[in-house]
Structure 1
Amino acid sequence: MNLPFMDIFKDWAKDYDTAVEGHDEQYHEVFVEYEQMLDEVALHVEGTVLEFGVGTGNLSSRILKGHPLIAIEPSPEMRQIAIDKLGIEVQEGDFLRYPDFSQVDTVVSSYAFHHLKDSEKETAIRQYVGEWGHPKFVLLDTMFESPASRQDIIDWAKANSYSDLVEDLNREYYPYTTTIRSMLEANGYNVMMTQKNKFVWLVVATKYRGGITHENI
């Protein structure tokens, strides 16, 4: 994960939970149905779960109710909040640099995979397949269907004077849905995708076993 994002995490840590609760007008649409989306993500995980970018631990708390969890977070500030909230070990690392784990059945991430450039996303997927033999992927993140839809969102944010959101949209590596689908399918996955709000898509990918290679949830 690129080091420049560490400063963003430092600033986000103290305000993140307030934002996801809908109290920050600029990011309200980003987090519409946030609690329900995390509940849905938790329903899709299987076996031993590796969560990258646990943030303040909101998804982690749900996963822990039914699954062994390996928690990874690069931000010291967010990691400490998650440790205090969850009462478990949260290890330092990111999508590409992390300790060795012998078994991972599901790789999960919410609002974090976009911190990787597309080439890094592809590297991460290949790396996990090589290490754990096609773990299930469950990703919840901001994505766009096309350059036009991305520009529409930027124009909407500008029209509402959401300057911080505009900065995020222009700086971070939000992928196109077709890009994520292609990366996963090229590595042997069936891919199911559904849009959950104006910004966020849910991606569930399982090892390809023949038949239809993708569909919408």
Structure 2
Amino acid sequence: MLDQQVDAIVSSYALHHLTDSDKLLALAEMDRTLKIDGQICIADLMFANENRRSHVINHFRDTGNHEAIDAIEDEYYANRQDLVQWLIEHGYQVQTYALNDILSIIYAVKRADLSSSLFC
């Protein structure tokens, strides 16, 4: 088994193919394999939160960008807030970077103590 054997995990454009519950399973598996002080970097299609999701989709609808709406509805874009919350609750220090309305990077470091924090 690879329990706590991995130094770093990178996920790029993968999580948006998973349902929300499967995203949490993926994070749990990353956590299981990652060493203390190990790093996770996730670059993926996601919204900051539900309000931002609604705003972006409404903007695409208002501008007639049905291709973008179809692409979003065909996948499972995460809410970044939910992923960050899970990581914090499991002892990670977390940084986030929004590259645009639907693309973000989450960088998290696993800490031995559970007093992790969010810093942006």
User: Where does the alignment leave 5 or more consecutive residues of structure 1 unmatched?
Assistant: 1-99
Alignment partner of 2:84: what SS?
helix
Matches within 5 A, 1:108-147: 108-134=10-36, 135-147=38-50
Hey, which of these two has a bigger chunk of helix by percent?
Answer: 1
Matches within 5 A, 1:93-112: 103-112=5-14
Q: Judge conservation of contact 2:15–2:44 (CA < 8 Å) in 1.
A: yes
User: Where does the alignment leave 5 or more consecutive residues of structure 2 unmatched?
Assistant: none
How far 1:212 sits from its partner (Å)? 5.5
Output one character per residue of 1:168-212: Cα deviation in whole Å (capped at 9) or x when no partner: 222322121220111111222111112112221111000125565
CA distance in structure 2 between the aligned counterparts of 1:104 and 1:110, rounded to whole angstroms: 17
How far 1:101 sits from its partner (Å)? 6.4
CA distance in structure 1 between the aligned counterparts of 2:35 and 2:19, rounded to whole angstroms: 23
- The structure showing larger relative contact order (alpha-carbon pairs under 8 Å, at least 6 residues apart) is 2
Query: In structure 2, what is the equivalent of residue 163 of structure 1?
Result: 66
CA distance in structure 2 between the aligned counterparts of 1:106 and 1:212, rounded to whole angstroms: 18
Please identify runs of 4+ aligned residues in structure 1 that moved more than 4 A.
100-103, 209-212
- One-letter code of the match for 2:15? F
Q: Judge conservation of contact 1:189–1:206 (CA < 8 Å) in 2.
A: yes
CA distance in structure 2 between the aligned counterparts of 1:209 and 1:129, rounded to whole angstroms: 12
- Greater CA radius of gyration, 1 or 2? 1
Alignment partner of 1:215: what SS?
coil
Which of the numbers 177, 181, 188 marks the counterpart of 2:80? 177
Q: Taking structure 1 as the reference length, what is the TM-score of the superposition? A: 0.48
Alignment partner of 1:192: what SS?
strand
Hey, which of these two has a bigger chunk of strand by percent?
Answer: 2
CA distance in structure 2 between the aligned counterparts of 1:118 and 1:187, rounded to whole angstroms: 17
Identity, % of aligned pairs? 26
CA RMSD of aligned residues (A): 2.3
Query: In structure 2, what is the equivalent of residue 214 of structure 1?
Result: 118
Q: Judge conservation of contact 2:94–2:106 (CA < 8 Å) in 1.
A: yes
